[in-house]
Amino acid sequence: MDFANRLAMGAEAAILGHELGHQVLEHLDEAAPPGDLLWSRQQELDADMAGWAFMFASALEDGDSDAFLWRFACADFSLRTIKLLDDCRPVSLFENSTHPSPALRLASLDDMARSIAGDDSSYQTLMALPNTIQKACDEVVAIFGHGR
Amino acid sequence: MPRASADRAQCRRFGDLAPPRTLLVERTKRPLSEVTPGTLASMGRKSRTKRERRRTSPAHAMLAALQTHHPVRSVGALDDIAGRGGIPLAVLERALKQGPKDLGEASFSMLRTWMPKEVSAILKPNLYLAVGATGDPSINASTRKAADGGWVITLNEGLTFTLYEVARAFSLRVDYTDGSMPPPPTDPALVPEPIAEMIRYRLGFNRMGGYDVEVDAPLGLR
């Protein structure tokens, strides 16, 4: 399987993990009251954390750094792609959304990355592929020229 | 592992690559575990037992907090889901692509192999779960609960296509440390414009169809 297929499938797995997180955390049984954006956004962040736990836990517990690096890159790519799409719009979809902005979700993932990495050198290694992708994203967004 | 190289991408666009384990190995330097502290650095250190790693792993702490759900029944086929879930089969059949190559199923199978044994073991015998890709062009995924408590998770085609298109274009910017990849067929400097064009198409197409790019629809049945 080529790199792009593998990365896209990993990103899909991350999104499925997020959706499964909603189920496991029983969010459908306690749906946010209409208009309570804080509640629903917190549920989304919690579902992110659950999905990442599904993806990362076995690699961390088995001490498999190769697997962890790859799965982290896939999770990051899923959010970075959504951020790219939103950044290309003149107005963000997430200002009054039930979902937190992709930037906030990426920040949450980044917090986890820093915690797991432990030092700057490991963190930079972890972020090598995401940083490459972000640089390309910035170039794409610049073409749209919304200046957001 | 892949490392950043905006100026000198040395991968090929298509074709077989080594599996992730090989792809991500940094061949020219010492393993991370030997040179860095922290959780990542402690991976594979012989002095720590698996139990010790589990006890200190942030992921393990998260999992401990997650394992409070109510398992239901085993995985069902599409007609089984429709029958037990109170969803008309014709509606499900239109929505879910059947067959072993369903993108949603394939991705979920991969996620399952990544899951800790504890979670996977809970899901396997007890969970009545359907995962599939729909033909919906909106860039979205959703989760819903069937009438009898089963779980249905769908990935829309708009999302899977977009992820692949972006991944394919961005793969030109990825360099491989083992030097085994031939030069890319396209200059990586040309990557942004095709992606921008794809996004213009996707956003314009979705706006015409009344869709939006938000991933993960509001919870519940749609």
Pairwise pLDDT comparison (B190 vs B196), residue with the higher score: B196
User: How many residues belong to chain A?
Assistant: 148
pLDDT in tens, A78-107: 999 999 999 998 888 888 888 899 999 999
What pLDDT, on the 0 to 100 scale, is given for residue B212? 57
Backbone torsions φ then ψ of A2, nearest 5 degrees: -75, 170
pLDDT above 90 for B36: no
Q: A88 to chain B: which residues are within 8 Å by CB?
A: 196, 199-200, 203
Report yes or no: A5 at the B interface, CB cutoff 8 Å.
yes
- Name residues 91-120 of chain A within 8 A of B (Cβ): 93-94, 97-99, 112, 115-119
Query: Is A58 close to B114, i.e. CB distance below 8 A?
Result: yes
Residue of B63, B9, B139 lying closest to A78 (CA atoms) = B139
Of A15, A26, A129, the CB nearest to B174: A129
DSSP-derived secondary structure letter, B183: P
Q: Using an 8 Å Cβ cutoff, are B135 and B97 in contact?
A: yes
What pLDDT, on the 0 to 100 scale, is given for residue A10? 93
Return d(Cα B91, Cα A143) in angstroms, integer.
41
pLDDT in tens, B136-156: 777 888 887 766 566 778 787
CA Rg, chain B, in Å? 22
> Closest Cα of chain A to B61: distance in Å?
9
Query: Is A88 close to B21, i.e. CB distance below 8 A?
Result: no
Of A16, A20, A88, the CB nearest to B199: A88
Nearest CA in chain B to A79: B215
3-state SS record for A86-121: HHCCCCCCCCCCCCCCHHHHHHHHHHHHHHHHCCHH
Domain count, chain A: 1
Query: Within 13 Å, how many C-alpha atoms sit on residue B116's CB side?
Result: 24
pLDDT in tens, B194-220: 888 888 888 776 665 555 555 554 444
Nearest CA in chain A to B9: A132
Pairing of β B151-156 and β B129-134 = parallel
Domain enclosing residue A120, as ranges:
3-144
Residue of B213, B45, B4, B143 lying closest to A18 (CA atoms) = B143
Sequence-separated (6 or more) residues with CB below 8 Å from residue B200: A88
Return d(Cα B106, Cα B182) in angstroms, integer.
29
> Closest Cα of chain B to A24: distance in Å?
5
Query: Is A118 close to B41, i.e. CB distance below 8 A?
Result: yes
Pairwise pLDDT comparison (A109 vs B176), residue with the higher score: A109
Task: Give CA separation, B66 vs A21, A29, B39, B71, B98, in Å.
Answer: 9, 15, 21, 13, 31
Task: Give CA separation, B72 vs A26, A50, B127, B148, in Å.
Answer: 13, 19, 5, 9
Helix (H, G, I), strand (E, B) or coil at B49: coil
Return d(Cα B106, Cα B81) in angstroms, integer.
19
Query: Is B39 close to A58, i.e. CB distance below 8 A?
Result: no
Nearest CA in chain A to B212: A93
What pLDDT tens digit does each residue of chain A (148 aa) get? 577 888 999 999 999 999 888 887 878 777 677 778 888 888 888 889 888 988 988 888 788 888 888 999 999 999 999 999 999 988 888 888 888 999 999 999 998 888 888 888 888 888 988 988 898 899 999 998 876 6
A138 Cα distance to chain centroid: 17
pLDDT in tens, B42-51: 443 444 555 5
